[in-house]
Every structure is written in structure tokens, then in C-alpha cells.
Structure 1
Amino acid sequence: MSKIKAMTGNQSASIGACLSRPDVIAAYPITPQSSVVEGLAAMIADGKSDAQMVQVESEHSAMSVVQGSAMAGGRVFTATSAQGLALMYEPYFRMSTLRLPMVMAIATREMTSPETVWSGQQDAMSVRDSGWIQVFVENNQEILDMIIQGYKISEDKDVLIPMNVCYDGFYLSHLTERVEIPSQEQVDEFLPRYKCEHVAYDPQNPMAVDPLTPGEILINYRENHLQSMQKVKDIIEKVDKEFKEKFGRSYGGLIDTYRCEDAEIVVVTIGANVGTARVAVDLAREKGKKVGLIKVRFMRPFPNEKIAEVLSNKKGYAVIDRSVSFGWNSGVLYQEVKAAVSDLNQNLCSISAIGGLGGLDISLNHVMSVIDVLDKAIKEEKQGQLQTMWLK
């Protein structure tokens, strides 16, 4: 039977990983991720997990250890944040392009410099094109659930791509919420022990891995990777339905929507501030404004078709980002949404709102002000003119 417990996002990540029965765990502590692996170490010491914990000297080594373990056919887990993610980038990129399944938690954080340890999504957004599946979650329950679902998705024979479960540092990693913890028996029925079906390392049969690859072969690797990433979209929806049947919880698959059916304008956002945006939508509705909400869950693969479908025939949209797209006067998510609706042949009014950097809150007043500015821009017929708001 499942049980209810109040716990932090990092505890949720630890328990989700433990319930998934990894064979090998390796990680290096970094704020705000550190307690994820501390929790797993405690579970191993208490006999709640039979995973092997490998102590390493850096994040680069952590990813290298789980990479080798995945090549040997094991189910593996690690976690990191910000500069740690940057340090592991070389084996991180290699993990996906070798098509090795795994789950890694990222407690998102701003990137240095200026020096900071506080919340933001710049770290995870900066590696969105490294070949990993990326899900951004809203609350601590979704952290636990998506780590379990993550293995089911990543290990699918039509996928074999590693997955990041990204959650806002401090806002989720260190704050406490009610979480329902499934039993080990329930998880085992949904996610059996991993059985590697591809060629794995075997000391008795040595082989070369990743030799120098000429362009005429490498282009096929990239094509297959992209094709598999598109197949992930259907598998995400399928696993979400299976999870609901087993545990009673569904997150909508690639995206979730709120009050969009009759909406004229839509707020699009991602991560922990989705809950605030829902309240703002309700308040705006009370004022007579037909506002809806899109919660973007997956940055990779990006749900362009579903977003375009929801925004079709709307008057405009505002995207609230917790990261910036360097080189553009907008946020990262805004650029993705803008590309997704480019084929609609509609002159939609759009706003890029950037906030929550360096631990700043994205408040209810911030979201309400974004809705007001978008509504005003539509009335003044400013379609096609990008407006950028900084939520300070």
C-alpha cells in the first residue's frame, strides 16, 4: 500500500530513485542537489536499497561511472545542479549519443557568473540540445512519479535515450509538500528490474566502444537519434496513461492545459510557477478575461504539435521563462513556442516574460501583470510585435 508523507523535493527524488531499483549510483554534492544523494546513501546504509554507491571526486567522474555501468547493462542514477552539470558535460553528451538509458535529477539553479547558488532554470535549459529527454516538473509528487516513469520511458527499446527530471532548486528541492509514496511492490509491477537487451560490456568478450566515426556513418547516428526522439512523444503519452491506471495520477503527457477550450489568450509556462499561473488565470477569469494556461512539461522532445494545436485560433500568448536565451531578447521557452506556432499563419500577439532568476519569486502579481499587458497589446492591435517583460 502507498503511504502519505510530507517531504522535500530532494527527498522525493531520492525515494523515487530508490523505488526504481538502480544497480549503481554515483554523484558529487552541489547545492541545491546534495541531499538527493545523501538520502540515497542513507537508504543503502539502512538496507532499503541494494544499489552500489560509488564515491567520486567530481561530477565528470560521476557521469563517467554511471556511463560505464550502463554500458555493462545496469540501471543507473545520478543527480546534479548548475556548475556540476557544466563539469560533467563531456560524458553527459556522450551518454545520450551512445543511446544509454538512465535517469538523472537536476535541481535547477542559475549558472555562474555572477556567483550564485539560487534558483533558476538556466543550467538545464543550456543543455537542452545535448540529446537527452527533458521533463520539467511542477511539484514534489511529480518529481517522484517522473523518476519512476523516466526509467520506463528511457529504457523502452524504441527509445534508449537518457532522461533528465528537472525541478526548481529551493522552490521544490528544499520546500516540503504532501507526497504519496507508492509501495515497492506497486513500483515493481509497473517498472520491473532492468534487463539490458542491447550489447553490454563483457570482460570475457572485449569490444571497442565509440571508435572514430566518419561522417557518412555519423550522420546516420544523428538521424536515428532524432527519429527516436520523436517516437518518445507517443511513449510519454502511453506511459502517462499506464501510470494513471496503476497509481491514479496523470500529468497530461507532453503538456497539460487549464481552461484553454474557450480562451482567447494563453499563458505558457514551465516548472514550479505553474501553480501560481493557475491562480492568476482564475482571477483573470473573474475579471472577464478569457485566459487559459499551457503547462509545458517536456522541453525535449518539444511538444510543438500540441502547443500549436492549443494556440490555434487564439488572439495571443505570453510565455513566462525562468531562463534567458542569450542572443535573443527573450526567454528560452518563448523561442521554442514561437517556432512551434510559426506554421499557423496567424499573426498572434506574443509576450516574452522573464523572471525568477537568481532565486527571485515569480509572484501572483507578476503573472497578473503579464496577462494585463498581453490583453492591452491585443486591444491595441500590436500583433507580431515582440514585447519583453522583466519581472523584477
Structure 2
Amino acid sequence: WNDHSDALSQRDSGWLQLFASSNQEAADLHVQAFALAERVSLPVMVCMDGFVLTHAMEEIDVPEQEAVDAFLPPFRPRQWLDPDHPVTIGAMVGPEAFTEVKCLMVQRQRRALDAVAAVGEEFRAAFGRDSGGLLRPYRTDDAEVVLVVMGSAWGTAADAVDALRVDGVRAGVLGVTCYRPWPAEALHDALSGVPRAVVVNRAVGVGSGGTLGQDVRVSAPDGTEVCEVVMGLGGRPVTRAALADLVCDVLDGWEPVGVLDFRDADHTVVARELVREEAPS
């Protein structure tokens, strides 16, 4: 049962994290992940939604081995095990070097932003598919409301946007493909001029808020009103109708309850349990 709790728990590990919106993009991102890891000397995590993608059957275009070999240059590792020149690497870092190690992690992540964008463009030129990159905007140019999503919800949100547009509702969707490193500047530019952005969180930082929403709020331009909802936890489906209703509610003046709104929760059950816990024993 899918949500993003497991993947986003590793957001500060120093790995690059790329989220696939479809099985085709998952296949494409694995090819790009090798290019990225070798280029920036950082591990890359390709995240794809469990069950929704992993247990789905659909036709994809698997790149030919010759094309992949041409896309990926021969890898010459910077560090390797050499019996003729043995070295040991300590797993523990003391206070005399820990700060520098963390600083190095941050600097490498920043450099990786350009590499993610560049590899996505190179893949597009080589294979003719728009996979990878930092963000995936769809019909956002004149949108009054933009849904900000990650993973397979992008396709569902795009379908919802198409249906809303038929009814004259100016909606759009912004998919986050590269979650780490966080594309703060690119997201700021993508939401520039957008009156409202609604973040669909599929992971929650208990006691703090939506995990994706925290990053979006920090990066959104001042003129964009950001609200958050939680949907699709534990494999609960995120449907086209639910996303369309969310957009319409926001345009009608709906505001989330508190900082974070569990949009698809059974609040009757939650309220009952809170009352039961507060009752004297």
C-alpha cells in the first residue's frame, strides 16, 4: 500500500531522490540515475509508487541496450579497491571533521541540481521522451489554482485538470520530479504569477506538517497563497474526482482546517477517538 512516508524519511540522507510519474518514467529515470550518480559521485534513489505503478501492467518503451550504452559514457571511478595500494576508510567521523563532511554533502547536493536538469535534457535529446528534470508543469501558464504533487498522482491530477478546463476552470498541475536536491529556485519560478497552490501531501511529519508542503512553502513566491492537504496515505486512492473537487473547493473559498487538512480522513472516527481518550477513566 503506497504513500511517500518511507521515501521521504530519507530526505536528509544525502541521496538524490527522483520520483517517477509513470512506469515509463521509472524506466527512463533508472538510466538517468546511472549518469547522475557517476557524474556527481552521489547515490541516486529512483522512487516509484508501490502498487499503483509496481503492480500495474502497461506498455512501455524499453531503451535498446546500444542506445543506453551510447548515452552512458564509460565509467571511471574516482575511488576503488586497489590491492596494490590498500587504504582503510573509517566509518566514524569525529568532531574534527564532521562539520566539513556535512558541508561537503550540502555543496554536492547543490551542484547536483544542475546535473539533474542537464541529464534530463540529454535524455530527451537522445531518446525523444520528456522524462526526468526538476519539475513537470502542466497547463500552469494561466492557472488560478495549481496542484503540487509527486509521483503517480501527477497523471491523475493532469486528467483532473483537463476535465476542469473543459468546464472553464483554469487549473494546472506541477509535478516534483527531483525532490532531493530540492529545486527551490525552479519551483519559485514555476509558481510565479500563480494565485493559489495546493500541495497534495502523501507523507506527514507528525507534529510539523506535510513533508512536501514544508519545502513548497519555503520556496513559493510571496504572491502565491499556499495551502496543504493530506491525501492517499497508506494506499488510500487519490482519484481524479477528489482532486477536481479540491480545486473547485479552493476556488469557492474553502480553506484547510488549521495548517494541515486530512482531506480523505473519516473525521467522525478521529473525533470519536479523541473524545474517548479525553474521557475520565
TM-score with structure 2 setting the length: 0.88
CA distance in 2, matches of 1:264, 1:220: 44
- 1:368 and 2:244 matched: yes
Q: 1:353, 1:370 within 8 Å by CA — same for their partners in 2?
A: no
Say whether the 8 Å CA contact 2:20–2:177 is kept in structure 1: yes
Match of 2:35 among 148, 152, 167: 152
Note if 1:333 corresponds to 2:208: no
CA contact (8 A) 1:350 1:374 kept: no
Please state how far the C-alpha of 1:215 moved relative to its aligned partner. 2.6
SS in 2 for 1:257: strand
1:155 is paired with a residue whose SS is helix
Q: Which moves more between the two structures, 141-150 or 211-220?
A: 211-220
Report the Cα offset of residue 286 of structure 1.
2.2
C-alpha contact (below 8 Å) 2:123/2:131 kept by paired residues: no
1:388 aligned partner, one-letter code? D
Q: Indicate if the aligned counterparts of 1:265 and 1:316 stay in contact, CA closer than 8 A.
A: yes
Aligned counterparts of 1:386 and 1:122: Cα–Cα separation in 2: 19
Corresponding residue of 1:272? 152
Which deviations, in whole Å up to 9, do the C-alpha atoms of 1:152-174 show, x marking residues without a partner? Answer: 01111xx1110000001111111
- Counterpart residue number, 2:274: none
Instruction: For 1:60-99, list aligned pairs within 5 A.
Output: none
The answer to whether 1:357 aligns with 2:230 is no
RMSD: 1.9
**Deviation per residue, 1:128-170 (Å, 9 max, x gap):** 11110000101111111111100101111xx111000000111
CA displacement 1:22-71 (0-9 Å, x = unmatched): xxxxxxxxxxxxxxxxxxxxxxxxxxxxxxxxxxxxxxxxxxxxxxxxxx
Q: Distance in 1 between matches of 2:92 and 2:247?
A: 52
Q: Supply the distance in 2 between the matched residues of 1:207 and 1:195 (Cα, whole angstroms).
A: 19
> Residue in 2 aligned with 1:182?
63
Separation in structure 2 between the aligned mates of residue 345 and residue 188 of structure 1, nearest angstrom:
45
Question: Which residue does the alignment assign to 1:89?
Answer: none
Shift of 1:288: 2.2
Segments of structure 1 that go 5 or more residues without pairing to the other structure are 1-117
TM-score norm. by structure 1 comes to 0.64
Instruction: For 1:299 and 1:236, locate their aligned partners in 2 and report how far apart those are by CA, in whole Å.
Output: 11
Name the amino acid aligned to 2:12.
D
The count of residues paired between Structure 1 and Structure 2 equals 264
The corresponding residue for 1:308 is 188
Map of 2:270 onto structure 1: none
What is the CA deviation profile of residues 325-344 of structure 1, one whole-angstrom value per residue up to 9, with x for unaligned ones?
2112x321111101112xx3
- 2:17 alignment counterpart: 134
Question: In structure 2, how many angstroms separate the alpha carbons of the residues matched to 1:280 and 1:211?
Answer: 49
Amino acid at match of 2:230: I
Partners of 1:212 and 1:259 in 2: CA distance: 49
Matched residues in 1 for 2:192 and 2:7: separation? 29
Distance 1:364 1:213 in 2: 48
SS of corresponding position for 2:88 = coil
Give the aligned partner of residue 272 of structure 2: none
Residue 143 of structure 2 corresponds to which residue in structure 1? 263
Distance in 2 (CA, whole Å) between partners of 1:280 and 1:131 is 34
Contact (CA 8 Å) 2:28, 2:131: kept in 1 or not? no
Q: Percent identity?
A: 33
Q: 2:173 aligns with which of 293, 299, 302?
A: 293
Call closer, same or farther: CA 1:155–1:265 in 2, change over 3 Å. Answer: same
Q: Which residue of 1 aligns with 2:42?
A: 161
